[in-house]
Structure 1
């Protein structure tokens, strides 16, 4: 760990990441919004990392991963384009792909369904203007989750733009955005298209999206919100490689064997189309009393030709959120009481067939599964003299599954998980302006998802239990003058009945409870405002440095004759360090240079196979271009500048030692956005 700090501090003056957009605001001054009266980060009781426009805009327009990975405690992986993982503090332990044990909201609405799944890859990164990552269990107001909660805020500023970008591997992206006000309506229309052949065989991607929002301010007291999303995604899955296969040809898809076909011959991939719509309503009944409600529904058509089968899944989801909010204030105090509820239902019709080279063949297994989950909560917020901030909440959480086997045998079961009471208490104290300390304790619970209860083995696991645990946390936030912000957080999370992933010899996955884990760590971030320089060439420079340093271990994990107690947690790097510097040249040219260090990762529970550490760098040049007819922003990006050999996501506990998903080596992209 000491070597990592020395390396980072030595290289920091050389690293750079510039934002053409306004980056003058420190994150300590950002307002944290989720479910609450907005409060500055430095006074917040929560453990939260924030990526605003300054961090998000340094990515190419088709990518979100690099911005998320700048945030301490958050980690995003992409084994191949479209195959996302989003983990918070080690929650990728149970995610072969996708997002599990992390709950995600999109403005007023839920992306995570009642079955615990989140199709984050259906979104276009360009619609997102801010990411708030709440780390660890929140207990009361966010319901049952042990990894973390993410609030995605979409673009709200008025404007018209057309953007085009392209790069190596036949990578192309185009988008159109229209946002304006019309009377009492504030509307936005976004549409985008992306395609790429990608770096490896059998890893192409194509995504089409239409996103529409409207906010109708029908009176001074109330407004209606409307959201519609239609996304159509197809991406191929090349599969994991062994170390020897990776060394022989990094770009190949998983090859076939004497008894098992390969990814290319089976046309392995994902076809996913989702239509999501929702309506929200806010109304201030009196100056102190208000009400909020949102209702939503979605339909998903999901198909997955895999090595061993072809799965078709049709999902119908309904969800709601509501709360009553009461606020009162005196000359030096503020109180907010909130009573709310959230709930949803999911019905999944799952059909598995033989995979005849990408075409459904003979039937294998037909199942219908329903999930209902929800919680009611009470939260209390108090502020005293702008110095002491208290945040207490408690929720009652309920989850139930119903399973009906249709073919080849007719069988049914109901799984009612134990009702969980999840409390949370956070305290923050501002010692002096710009300097605060905080403490938090909370309980989390995470039910198994439908994909874990009924995994690719096509069997319903009636023994899989929810994982749960207590998190304790201390933190300090310090702003030095008006130029530098430092945050350090220490946490200790004790997880029981941890859910872990296994694979059969055919590559099918299944899940089991792995006893308990001890997850202790330190997370830190250091940020400066732009330092203005009086030189002809270099006008300003801005620094960012963040890191996560973990000691995550299995405490009590025995499987058959194997005892993994004391081993490092699978799939989680013990150290990650990220650094940025923002340069601005001649008042308008930006140079973005980002570095990401990832330590070795245990790839199986026995810790006998570990990945190599990696250091990856990306650099972006951007500058504006104006005429009398339009304004434009141009950018040019070099990804993986040092031509490193690494994986952007591993297959953990992979049968046959197929752990590796090699990422692209050095490649370039360029784009232009016209603003009208």
Structure 2
């Protein structure tokens, strides 16, 4: 297979070097990589600083592991245990979450995809269908919620200009990897249609880690007239993934490819069937006022066979989001404003059954008797508003306000006859202000300051005691963020410098205390201080008209610690915050040759991570390299073919790509902290594109 990759790559290289440079290619949209990167659109309103990952960054990574691109953003780190197991942390927020992503809001084309308990699943989307990912770090987003971790906004691909094009990207690689993405995009000035279908399957690096996913995306809009536009979004993902689970230190050192014994014997797995449907109507009232309103529905059917019990759950969610924006005369310029509201309601039902895998003659999981039947009704609404004022020609101020109200209603339908544990929790409305100041020394030199208030809700499970009764004393996490940063473009905008320093103090820290193999209870246990320095440097060096070199360095330095934290009678005040690396560095170099050939190499370094609150155990630091090269060959004005070859973990480093914190060993077993990263692996992609 490797010889075939090399032969195919060399044959394409000879063909591409014989051709004239391609200046613009709407067939495959690969011109986004360099030419259109400056045109990326930000959704963050007004002065709110955010960072965008676009095609230029996606091009550094495999289309299967595109989530790795998020790690290029300073202050943002993704713990990835598998293709179906990702945990996104922002400035240390979410690091204490054991599984999944919470404490931030996630949106897909301005439609909320965070559920009523505050959890978001980026793995529910094929990132090959995205044009960009935008990240707002911290609670300063206001319009996109004031969660302590911030917000992530996903934008699907669309046709570039007035065009109609079709493409198919086929990827094969190590571990039996097979991925195909079929895409059709059309725009005629009124009607816009984006239609994608994707299939992915892989055996995985570890035992019991097969993964198979099918996905469908429809993103279409129609401009009725100059004032009205209607849009429809349909996204569906269906996947099945085996679960190898985490390893203890001994097993990790002996053979990181092995699965945990009980998960291997039970052949543990999960299936997910997820759909999102949204309808948006945009109306312009005049030159100075417009409205965008969306209604949406989501459905998740999740089945997970775990050694300690089988979980069968489904969630129905629906809601409405409306946003008004406009401007009015202020001083010698215009002031801009935005206001609106977002309502989200969902119904979550979950049952648990015995797993009789030990009685199934080696055939894996077998569903037994039901031992739990539960239902939650979760309501959450946000009202928001911002006002941007031009104080002077160079100095701008923006005030924002977000109000959140959350309610949980829990029903225990299994113990109703003898011990009814049903209860609800209605949090008080919380008011979250934000202030952004921006001073522009010139068009290319700006400095900004932000102070903002944020929050995180406990999940309903965290509000329950070990006996399944609502704990009325548990409170929302709250925090205040202070941030100072610069945005600089030097040397005729070829050299970009982004620098930010921040401090966030958090009160009522939520702690998940493990009381059983799969039992966790939450409580408020103290205060934390999040200190950080984030630096992003990039340079575009045009060596000649046909050769461009683009080096970049992104660096994160943190000083997160517990200010006050007493747990189980032990005082951890002054200790480093668990689950957060002190330093992270991502750097790379991108070579563009003849606008047809590219070669990108990236390097990621992650320092040791404290795994226990007492800081008695740390993960090992690691450094991994990836490289990817590709070229395109234009057969005609309409037809283009592209090849690329990539290597992940170039030097075959053994490392933990994700970790758990404060784990305990049960039944005399070693605590399991580590999710191993993949060994060195290869992939090859071939894309065909046709423009009508």
In the superposition, the TM-score normalised over structure 1's length comes to: 0.91
The yes-or-no answer on 1:135 pairing with 2:137 is yes
Cα distance in structure 2, aligned partners of 1:50 and 1:615: 24
Cα distance in structure 2, aligned partners of 1:610 and 1:433: 45
Q: Give the 3 Å change call, closer, same or farther, for CA 139–71 of structure 1 in structure 2.
A: closer
- The answer to whether the 8 Å contact 1:193/1:206 transfers is yes
List aligned pairs for 1:15-54, cutoff 5 A.
Answer: 21-24=31-34, 33-34=42-43, 36=45, 45-54=47-56
Question: Could you tell me how far 1:650 is from its partner in structure 2?
Answer: 0.7
Q: Give the 3 Å change call, closer, same or farther, for CA 455–66 of structure 1 in structure 2.
A: farther
SS at match of 1:250: coil
Cα distance in structure 1, aligned partners of 2:35 and 2:570: 52
1:434 to 444, 469, 478: 444
- Give CA deviations for 1:590-636 in whole Å, capped at 9, x if unaligned: 11100000000011211111011110000001111232473111110
Cα distance in structure 2, aligned partners of 1:640 and 1:30: 32
2:672 to 638, 649, 658: 658
The yes-or-no answer on 1:566 pairing with 2:562 is no
Determine the structure 2 residue equivalent to 1:9. none
SS at match of 2:199: strand
Determine the structure 2 residue equivalent to 1:364. 371
2:238 to 232, 257, 280: 232
Question: Could you tell me how far 1:21 is from its partner in structure 2?
Answer: 3.7
Q: Give the 3 Å change call, closer, same or farther, for CA 647–460 of structure 1 in structure 2.
A: farther
List aligned pairs for 1:213-224, cutoff 5 A.
Answer: 213-224=219-230
The yes-or-no answer on 1:641 pairing with 2:647 is no
Q: Give the 3 Å change call, closer, same or farther, for CA 269–558 of structure 1 in structure 2.
A: same
Question: Could you tell me how far 1:432 is from its partner in structure 2?
Answer: 2.4
- Give CA deviations for 1:282-312 in whole Å, capped at 9, x if unaligned: 1001111111110101111111212211111
The yes-or-no answer on 1:443 pairing with 2:453 is yes
Cα distance in structure 2, aligned partners of 1:675 and 1:401: 49
List aligned pairs for 1:252-401, cutoff 5 A.
Answer: 252-255=258-261, 262-329=262-329, 332-357=332-357, 358-383=365-390, 387-401=394-408
Question: Could you tell me how far 1:460 is from its partner in structure 2?
Answer: 5.5
- The answer to whether the 8 Å contact 2:96/2:661 transfers is no
Question: Could you tell me how far 1:368 is from its partner in structure 2?
Answer: 0.8
Cα distance in structure 1, aligned partners of 2:270 and 2:437: 44
How many aligned positions are there? 641
- The answer to whether the 8 Å contact 1:81/1:203 transfers is no
Question: Could you tell me how far 1:332 is from its partner in structure 2?
Answer: 4.2
- The answer to whether the 8 Å contact 2:463/2:523 transfers is no
List aligned pairs for 1:540-551, cutoff 5 A.
Answer: 540-551=548-559
- The answer to whether the 8 Å contact 2:292/2:323 transfers is yes
SS at match of 2:275: strand
List aligned pairs for 1:457-606, cutoff 5 A.
Answer: 462-482=472-492, 483-533=494-544, 539-606=547-614
- The answer to whether the 8 Å contact 1:26/1:527 transfers is no
- The answer to whether the 8 Å contact 1:570/1:605 transfers is yes
Cα distance in structure 1, aligned partners of 2:677 and 2:366: 28
1:405 to 405, 412, 417: 412
- The answer to whether the 8 Å contact 1:225/1:280 transfers is yes
Q: Give the 3 Å change call, closer, same or farther, for CA 48–164 of structure 1 in structure 2.
A: same
Determine the structure 2 residue equivalent to 1:632. 641
Question: Could you tell me how far 1:144 is from its partner in structure 2?
Answer: 4.0
- The answer to whether the 8 Å contact 1:140/1:378 transfers is yes
Question: Could you tell me how far 1:451 is from its partner in structure 2?
Answer: 5.2
SS at match of 1:568: coil
Q: Give the 3 Å change call, closer, same or farther, for CA 446–154 of structure 1 in structure 2.
A: same
SS at match of 1:411: coil
Determine the structure 2 residue equivalent to 1:76. 78
Q: Give the 3 Å change call, closer, same or farther, for CA 454–636 of structure 1 in structure 2.
A: farther
Unaligned runs of 5+ in 1: 1-18, 38-44, 256-261
Q: Give the 3 Å change call, closer, same or farther, for CA 465–403 of structure 1 in structure 2.
A: same
Cα distance in structure 1, aligned partners of 2:256 and 2:468: 31
SS at match of 1:94: coil
CA RMSD of aligned residues (A): 2.2
Determine the structure 1 residue equivalent to 2:180. 174
Cα distance in structure 1, aligned partners of 2:248 and 2:129: 37
In the superposition, the TM-score normalised over structure 2's length comes to: 0.89
Cα distance in structure 2, aligned partners of 1:31 and 1:201: 40
- Give CA deviations for 1:554-608 in whole Å, capped at 9, x if unaligned: 1111012211111111111110001011112354221110000000001121111
Q: Give the 3 Å change call, closer, same or farther, for CA 633–74 of structure 1 in structure 2.
A: same
Determine the structure 2 residue equivalent to 1:165. 171
Q: Give the 3 Å change call, closer, same or farther, for CA 668–350 of structure 1 in structure 2.
A: same
- The answer to whether the 8 Å contact 2:657/2:675 transfers is yes
SS at match of 1:200: coil
Cα distance in structure 1, aligned partners of 2:491 and 2:498: 15
- The answer to whether the 8 Å contact 1:74/1:88 transfers is yes
Question: Could you tell me how far 1:128 is from its partner in structure 2?
Answer: 0.9
1:94 to 66, 82, 96: 96
Unaligned runs of 5+ in 2: 1-28, 358-364, 666-670
Question: Could you tell me how far 1:362 is from its partner in structure 2?
Answer: 1.3
Q: Give the 3 Å change call, closer, same or farther, for CA 250–670 of structure 1 in structure 2.
A: same
